[in-house]
Amino acid sequence: MMRHIALFCSIVLLTSQLSGCFRTDLIAPENHQVRVLATTAPTKFHTEYKNWYLLGGLLPIYTTQPEEIIAREKLTEVRVQTEDTVSDGVITFFSALIFIGLFPQTVVVEGNK
């Protein structure tokens, strides 16, 4: 019976580690006019990067906000998506097993100049 309870608690703990409090803001850079693109609109610029968090997404350790990329690339039309990829899930799962709690989040920025 104790073994079943321990297994159940382990599953609940690991499952809770797969959800997070990640935060990625979609803000236009200061003094920039930016239009948000539809999901089907064609784009010429595409980049993907990972933001990294600890403790279920509560503590950002390495994050880049889309506004930095929009400003650097001088985009006037933009689409931003956050994704939870398979590699993000694998990293999260194994870091939770050894109690590091490292959580990546993939961010995709696409747009036109």
Domain count, the chain: 1
Q: What is the pLDDT of residue 29?
A: 80
Q: What is the pLDDT of residue 83?
A: 82
* Domain span at 107: 2-112
Name the one residue in this structure whose structure tokens are 């194994």: 94
In the chain, which stretches have pLDDT less than 70? 13-25, 56-57, 99
pLDDT digits (tens, 9 = 90+) for 85-94: 888 888 878 8
Q: What is the pLDDT of residue 32?
A: 80
CA distance 76 to 88: 30
CA distance 66 to 45: 13
* Predicted TM-score of the model (pTM): 0.69
Is residue 34 a contact partner of residue 78, using CB atoms and an 8 Å limit?
A: yes
For residue 82, the cross-strand partners are 107
